[in-house]
Chain A
Amino acid sequence: MFVPCGDSVPDLSGCTLLMPAVSVGNVGQLAIDLIISTLNMCKIGYFYTDCLVPMVGNNPYATAEENSTELSINAEVYASPSKKLVALQLRSIFIKYKSKSFCEKLLSWVKSSNCAKVVVLSSSHSYHRNDLQLRSTPFRYLLTPSMQKSVQNKIQSLNWEEMEKSPCIPEIDDSEFCVRIPGGGITKTLYDEGCSKEIPMVILLKFVSEGDNIPDALGLVEYLNEWLQIIKPCLQCDDPSASALPWKMPSSWRLLFGSGLPPALF
């Protein structure tokens, strides 16, 4: 359930909700971290649930000593009111058998908050690609039928690739075709529920492998930005030394692969 930070429930009607699926390479979550950090979004509440493994830590987006001691939990909601953007960040995995329940509770909250649309950032195992997919862009999208026509038109004008259908049961030759998102966590469930509950939803995903997935996350936010224009693209190409990455990495992205090494190792 949504629990606001303050005393009153913020009005989310007409906002775009961005959220990750906990998926291969944690790409969706990394992408949401980039968005929250770059836009300096403020925390407006918690999505308190018994479906996610508990975790706590200090403010992952701290920029100074003063704001480093705010406690963060496993599911939090951030907002950028000027851009009518709301971001839900999920920081831990689902407790066994609870993912479906989470999807139901989440979409129920989405409906009751009157969000204009939901954008799910996700990823899928790159080793599952077929030959055609190997040769094309690694980004894919999916829209639920109730997604507004204007968004459908805009996405078509961007020449994006829609996620292809594949055999439901690959081992059977004449199997039916359906959308499969291996490694996508709850992405498929969210998409199916979004279709059946008539929720305007866009899924954006990238084919990735586990490893250092920061470049994948940067790719995914750039892909999202092509459509939503969250931040203005960097147009200063005349200065080659200027950073082409306008996305700000949060301070918590330190030591992603563990502590320093003992000198005696060498």
Chain B
Amino acid sequence: MRRAVEPQFGREGVRAVMAATFFGEVVRTPCRAGTEDEEEEEEEGRRETPEDGEVRQQLARKREVRLLRRQTKTTLEVSLLEKYPCSKFIIAIGNNAVAFLSSFIMNSGVWEEVGCAKLWNEWCRTVDTTHLSPTEAFCVFYHLKSNPSVVLCQCSCYVAEDQQYQWLEKVFGSCPRKNMQVTILTCRHVTDYKTSESTSSLHTPFLKALKTQNFREPPCCSLLEQPNIVHDLPAAVLSYCQVWKISAILYLCYTDVMKLDLITVEAFKPVLSSRSLKSLVKNIPQSTEILKKLMTTNEIQSNIYT
């Protein structure tokens, strides 16, 4: 059992709860309810000077999500789906999901880029937020030239929690379209999966699904059981769809390899039989070849000596 000891000021000058563990070492016990930030916030609010407010506003501006058309270098004035209404919206979040869509869906048909979400947060690798080169583009939107009602999003970047709602607003807008079906693909590390057996005994990768009330088709895999939950952008998109009664499904691949991995990407294959994606799949053997090439290119790039 932990014993709480007298609170002290930690390195950050914030009151920290210190606790002695059974073995006598003193550790900081973070509050699960995330309330330490609240007290800090309150105190900051009282002490905040106009300069502090200015810095905070500058940081908020730097973290703003901007939607633009790279071809014309212009910002979109309305939300993306207002400008490009669609009946199918498919989004891949994370490198493995993105590789899956690139190899199995985008390999056929002509996909035209319609927009790009530009954002900055602490997880971004690029420092220059004004000029995005093609390899640095994080969140790109395409529609199928032969059927523009199919919109696809490749999101390789991490959208931070203070940016997720902004992203939703910029993409979906404030007038939700009910007659649209949304498919979300993403990965999580298998250690996030809660099960009564040990996670080390699970056969990874495996697929789980979460769907909104209005999604009527049978999913391509079993549903994610409680007490498992999903966070981040996939959760933000699915929540939006649930609240505004949009048909949506999230396919979640639990894997023990978070970097680009052939087996993880191929774990998404059952999704190809879903109504949303079936009509877009053309040549699976060719897709597998494209995927293998993607893996090889990535391995060369990730040489630690370059």
Residues of A within 8 A of B (CB): 3, 22-26, 46, 48, 50, 53-60, 62, 68-71, 73-74, 92-97, 99-100, 125-127, 182-186, 188-189, 209-211, 251-256, 258-264
Contact = CB atoms under 8 A, between A and B. Distances in A.
B286 interface: no
B227 A183 contact: no
Contacts of A55: 229-231, 235, 239
Contact of A259 (B197, B229, B233, B250): B197
21 contacts: A24-B35, A54-B232, A55-B229, A56-B210, A56-B229, A56-B238, A58-B224, A71-B238, A73-B242, A94-B34, A95-B162, A127-B6, A127-B17, A182-B39, A188-B42, A209-B4, A210-B31, A254-B226, A254-B227, A259-B195, A260-B195
B211 interface: yes
B193 to A, nearest CB: 7
Interface of B: 1-2, 4-7, 17, 29, 31-35, 37-39, 41-42, 45, 56, 161-162, 164-165, 193-201, 210-213, 223-233, 235-236, 238-239, 242-244, 250
A126 to B, nearest CB: 7
Nearest to A46: B243
A23 B38 CA distance: 10
Contacts of B243: 3, 46, 48, 73
A59 B226 contact: yes
Nearest to B248: A71
Scoring B1, B6, B34 by chain A CB atoms within 10 A of each residue's CB, the highest score goes to B34
Contacts of A261: 198
B228 A57 contact: yes
Contacts of B244: 3
Contacts of B39: 182
B160 to A, nearest CB: 9
Contacts of B232: 54
A70 B214 CA distance: 10
Identify the 3 closest CB pairs spanning chains A and B, nearest first.
A93-B34, A57-B229, A50-B165
B201 A252 contact: no
A251 B31 contact: no
B38 to A, nearest CB: 5
Given A56-B230, A58-B223, A96-B162, 6 more contacts: A60-B226, A69-B211, A73-B242, A252-B226, A259-B197, A263-B198
Contacts of A183: 31, 33, 35
Contacts of A57: 210, 224, 226-230
A255 to B, nearest CB: 4
B230 to A, nearest CB: 5
A54 B159 CA distance: 12
A127 B161 contact: no
Nearest to A125: B17
Given A56-B230, A262-B200, A71 B32 contact: no
A99 B226 contact: no
Contacts of B45: 100
Contact of A96 (B41, B42, B165, B199): B41
A252 B211 CA distance: 18
B61 to A, nearest CB: 14
A95 B233 CA distance: 14
A24 to B, nearest CB: 5
A231 to B, nearest CB: 24
B164 A54 contact: yes
Given A55-B230, A58-B225, A210-B31, A186 B199 contact: no
B123 to A, nearest CB: 16
B194 to A, nearest CB: 4
Given A54-B161, A58-B223, A255-B195, A127 B235 contact: no
